[in-house]
Amino acid sequence: MKATRRNGLLVLAIAALAIAGACTNSYTKRFQEGPSDYSSKTGEDHELPNQRMLSAPNDIHARHHLNATLDIDHNTAGLINDLRGIRESYVAIAGTNAYVAIIIDNSGTGMKGKGTLQPSDRTIGQTTMNDVSDKAYRLKPGMVVMDKYSYNLIPNHDDISTELQVKIADIVRTVHPDVAYVHISANGEFINEMNRYAQMTWQGRSVSDQIASFNAMVSQYFP
């Protein structure tokens, strides 16, 4: 009788483990096929659009950032912001070049394809007479990313997930089909630079007289 009962309990335990495993596998599969995962290439949603990828290497002016026009495109940025894992973005269209600065958040995974993710420093200093950790950390004008208590960053633009880059590039090219190169970065300094240009347009100022400084700036981040 006891042996029969033990065997019955063993069967129930095995069945429970099998059900749990199936549920886990089902959840993993749904997650990998969904819009939040940029690292596992499975499912219809991961069939990447626009096979030109990020660049069309036939435009020498685009490759060397020899831009003659500049426009900050808030509408395209809004479309990019709808992607999972993107908290905010800034988009500049300069001739056949597009430049995109992205602020990432935790609503997506696998956004870093390689290299090192730079987490925000959230440590609190020791309590001393010079400690200001309990005070507001004020942003300087034009800054959205700080050294502390800020966003996680991907310093090297080449380390961003290829899948995420292609999805962003596809959005840009859908709106701007003449774009030859889409340059994307989650570098903190680049984000702040792009935000400054966006601030100019929000204030009703033109950025057309900023082309020379803009070209010099993007040449540093995308050599």
Does residue 40 lie within any of the structural domains? Answer: no
For the chain, how far is it from start to end, CA to CA, in angstroms? 78
28 sits in which H/E element: helix 2-33
Residue 98, domain extent: 52-221
What does the pLDDT read at residue 196? 95
What does the pLDDT read at residue 41? 46
pLDDT band at 49, cuts 50/70/90? Answer: very low
Does residue 14 lie within any of the structural domains? Answer: no
CB of 81 closer than 8 Å to CB of 88: yes
Does residue 17 lie within any of the structural domains? Answer: no
User: 162-176 pLDDT, tens per residue?
Assistant: 899 999 999 999 999
**Number of independent structural domains in the chain:** 1
Does residue 22 lie within any of the structural domains? Answer: no
Predicted model pTM? 0.69
Does residue 18 lie within any of the structural domains? Answer: no
Question: Strand locations in the chain, DSSP E?
Answer: 71-72, 86-94, 97-104, 181-185
CB of 53 closer than 8 Å to CB of 166: yes
User: 190-207 pLDDT, tens per residue?
Assistant: 999 999 999 999 999 999
pLDDT band at 142, cuts 50/70/90? Answer: low
Does residue 106 lie within any of the structural domains? Answer: yes
pLDDT band at 63, cuts 50/70/90? Answer: low
